[in-house]
């Protein structure tokens, strides 16, 4: 196996040989050994935009997880290839909703609620998928009048949906859906959790009719680790601490924090704070550690004392990055992510609706 220095040299050499023909995108959760080679680093919304912004590049090497690379493929030009350095870099939350289950859920909701618009022209229900989902689910939303959201625009997207529908079916992340809808004033009792093993998701017909947001049962295994006890402890140790968590955290954690927001929100809040501030952050450890080293003027620590990386993001090892870049230099595209046309067309529609919704 190659040493870190050898890998660095190989990656830099391949990037220099490729020049503007390749763009390397990196999600905030990637480890530093990968991030240092990224041409653009961002949250999942910014990376989706970035994939659109470089039509001149022949290849987009996506250092993130599978659904992000699929999104880049949907939004980039048809002659560009999107490469995921390790095809095993998935997202356990995205895997918690599959197209068959969602179709089945939808059929039951439509049977129960019909499709006729009400007097205000709003349809009974609209599907909203979190970016952290397969292209097939984005395609499902595109085909059924729905839309995609990310953690940085979930409230905007829910507003968009409520202008068009009385209810929202939100998948796969129950926490982002619940936290966002609650902040918009939707009562918790009108946000039932859909259980795919039960008839009508476990709701009574009346609960279905009364519902405003039907939540899928997915969650992020990294963010569900954060607890209110950790927040209490941080406040006990640092009375001035500012607690910021990602909205994939469970509702009591978001409620106990001072703020919640996407990875980019967290980075910007820290950059804008008075020097000497103290932050306890509830998100993935690679980002928290990077923010701490980039901002020595503050005290920044992760709420979870046990190191908790996103294990699938971590599968993008620099060795894979070196390999895919070197194959490109040799004229070969490996690990390409290619969304089939029948899914791509409606999925693109759902993504374009998101990009067009007011920021």
Q: How far is the CB of 287 from ligand SF4 (least distance, A)?
A: 10
Is 91 annotated to bind a ligand? Reply is yes
* Residue 320, phi then psi, degrees to nearest 5: -70, -40
Give the shortest CB-231-to-ligand SF4 separation in angstroms.
19
238 marked ligand binding residue: no
How far are the Cα atoms of 179, 215, 230, 325 from residue 245, in angstroms, in the given order?
12, 20, 12, 35
151: partner contacted, choices ligand 13P, ligand SF4, none (Cβ within 5-8 A by kind):
ligand 13P
- 151 annotated as belonging to a binding site for a ligand: yes
Nearer Cβ to ligand 13P, position 70 or 248?
248
**Where on the chain is the footprint of ligand 13P (CB under 6 A)?**
43-44, 132, 150-151, 220, 248, 262-263
> Across the chain, where does the E strand assignment appear?
22-27, 40-42, 59-63, 81-83, 123-130, 147-149, 165-171, 213-215, 242-245, 259-260, 278-282, 299-302
Nearer to ligand SF4, 90 or 145 (CB): 90
Q: Tell me the sheet residues that pair with 173.
A: 218
Query: Any binding-site annotation on 263?
Result: yes
Task: Say which entry of ligand SF4, ligand 13P, none residue 234 contacts (CB below 5 to 8 A, set by partner kind).
Answer: none
State the minimum distance, in angstroms, from the CB of residue 251 to ligand 13P. Answer: 16
Map residue 359 onto helix, strand or coil. Answer: coil
CB of 284 to ligand SF4, least distance (A): 5
Query: Which CB, 11 or 158, lies closer to ligand 13P?
Result: 158
User: Smaller CB distance to ligand SF4: residue 92 or 195?
Assistant: 92
Shortest CA distance to 51 belongs to which of 70, 65, 30, 32? 70
Distance CA 331, CA 145 (A): 41
8 Å CB contact between 181 and 195: no
d(CA 358, CA 344): 23
- Annotated binding-site residue? 149: no
Residue 220 labelled as part of a binding site: yes
Helix (H, G, I), strand (E, B) or coil at 241: coil
CA-wise closest residue to 6 among 322, 316, 314: 322
* Contact residues for ligand SF4, defined by CB under 6 A: 65, 91-93, 132, 220-222, 248, 284, 310, 312-313
Which residues are known binding-site members?
Answer: 27, 44, 91, 130-132, 151, 220, 246-248, 263, 310
Binding residues for iminosuccinate: 27, 44, 130-132, 151, 246-248, 263
């Amino acid at each position: 196996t190659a040493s870190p220095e050898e890998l660095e040299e190989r990656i830099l050499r391949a990037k220099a040989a490729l020049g503007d023909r390749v763009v390397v995108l990196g999600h905030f959760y990637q480890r530093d050994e990968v991030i240092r080679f990224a041409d653009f680093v961002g949250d999942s919304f910014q990376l989706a935009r970035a994939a659109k912004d470089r039509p001149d590049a022949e290849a987009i090497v996506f250092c993130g997880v599978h659904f992000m690379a699929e999104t880049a493929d949907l939004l980039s030009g048809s002659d560009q290839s999107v490469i995921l350095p390790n095809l095993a870099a998935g997202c356990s939350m995205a895997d918690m909703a599959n197209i068959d289950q969602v179709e089945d859920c939808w059929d039951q909701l439509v049977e129960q609620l019909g499709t006729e618009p009400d007097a205000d022209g709003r349809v009974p229900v609209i599907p909203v998928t979190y970016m952290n989902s397969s292209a097939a689910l984005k395609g499902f939303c595109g085909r059924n009048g729905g839309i995609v959201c990310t953690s940085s625009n979930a409230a905007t997207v829910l507003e968009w949906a409520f202008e068009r529908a009385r209810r929202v079916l939100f998948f796969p992340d129950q926490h982002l859906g619940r936290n966002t809808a609650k902040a918009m004033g939707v009562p918790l009792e009108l946000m039932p959790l859909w259980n795919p093993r039960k008839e009508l998701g476990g709701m009574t017909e009346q609960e279905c009719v009364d519902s405003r947001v039907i939540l899928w049962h997915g969650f992020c295994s990294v963010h569900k680790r954060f607890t209110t006890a950790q927040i209490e402890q941080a406040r006990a140790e640092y009375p001035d601490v500012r607690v910021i968590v990602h909205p994939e955290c469970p509702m009591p954690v978001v409620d106990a924090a001072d703020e919640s927001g996407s990875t980019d929100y967290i980075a910007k809040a820290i950059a804008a704070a008075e020097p000497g501030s103290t932050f306890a952050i509830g998100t993935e450890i690679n980002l928290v550690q990077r923010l701490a080293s980039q901002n020595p003027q503050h005290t920044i620590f992760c709420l979870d004392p046990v190191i908790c990386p996103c294990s699938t993001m971590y599968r993008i090892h620099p060795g894979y990055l070196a390999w895919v870049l070197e194959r490109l230099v040799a004229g070969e595209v490996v690990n390409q992510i290619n969304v089939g046309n029948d899914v791509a067309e409606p999925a693109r529609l759902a993504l374009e609706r998101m990009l067009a919704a007011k920021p």
